[in-house]
Amino acid sequence: MNAHHPSPPDNQLLASLPPEVAAVLQPLIESVDLAAGTMLYEAGTVQRHVYFPVTAVVSLVSPLQDGACSEVAVVGREGVAGVCAFMGGGMALSSAVVQRPGLAWRMSARDIADLARDFEPVMQQLLRYTHALFTHMAQTSACHRHHALAPQLCRWLLQHLDRQVGCDLRITQERIAGMLGVRREGVTAAALQLQREGLISYSRGHIRVLDRQGLEQHSCECYGVVERAYEQLRSGSSAWPRPAAAPVRWQAGEGRRMGHLGAPWASAQASSATR
């Protein structure tokens, strides 16, 4: 995991924060490259950092004593991995594993807690995001208990697809089985069913979604419930960016991103607040 200061596309949660926070954030935040499979923090440990994904995708997983685990939520550029850091506890409730490699903004747990304490609008935005995330986690837990594997797989594919560019997922069936808490043979059968119906194509370690609309129709209602929670989060704030088909860099005239979230970022936020 390498730290540096390029000019990556935005994390939507960071972009929704008030303009006056930009100058405070500048010395506190850095960009990092996250490799697939990296454990950002483990359940039950004190969190040292929080991560705002940009192009990376992070799975939040609940581990068991026998070594098994299952995914309870997925975090992309809409949010942050590490909400316990500013909720007062400091101990991680779940583990965070990088599912898709890419860029993220990293901040120390102490700094995000101080920022939330000192700026009420920041705390409000973080709590609004946390509410959507908890809806995500609760619905995923219900999905694991009550729904057949094929609709679960559709829901899982859609949620990860929403947080990346393109229609291809680089992941093995064994890994998906671990995330869903089921046997690999079950995932194989469900994937073959979706492939026969023309919704996906699958080769070892590579899934391509061929029919996004069909996948939504075959998914259980949990996908819609979770998406409505995030849509409510976006629509409840004029500063919250709408989801884009792909992460984009801000260009001249719209506010340019810098290595740190400095004055150009603040100017862009100020202009968006007046629209």
Among 48, 47, 53, 41, CA closest to 14? 53
pLDDT tens for each residue of 245-272 = 433 333 333 332 333 333 333 333 444 3
pLDDT tens for each residue of 116-135 = 999 998 999 999 999 999 99
Q: Output DSSP code: residue 165.
A: S
Per-residue pLDDT at 68? 79
- One-letter amino acid identity for 78? E
* Spatial contact of 88 and 112, defined as CB atoms under 8 Å apart: no
Burial of 231 (0-12, 13-18, 19+ CB in 10 A): middle
DSSP assignment of 80-124:
-B-GGGGTT--B-SSEEEEEE-EEEEEEEHHHHHHHHHH-HHHHH
Tokens read off for 99: 């599912």
State the average pLDDT over residues 91-103.
94
State the average pLDDT over residues 178-192.
93
d(CA 69, CA 178): 6
Quote the longest CA-to-CA distance of the chain: 55
Which residue ranges form the domains of the chain, and what is each CATH number? 1-119 (2.60.120.10), 133-237 (1.10.10.10)
Write out the H or E segment, with its range, that includes residue 2: strand 2-4
DSSP assignment of 13-73:
HHHTS-GGGHHHHTTTEEEEEE-TT-EEE-TTSB--EEEEESS-EEEEEEE-TTS-EEEEE
d(CA 35, CA 122): 29
Local confidence band at 91 (pLDDT 50, 70, 90 cut-offs): confident
Local confidence band at 220 (pLDDT 50, 70, 90 cut-offs): very high
Per-residue pLDDT at 3? 53
d(CA 257, CA 58): 23
pLDDT tens for each residue of 151-162 = 999 999 999 999
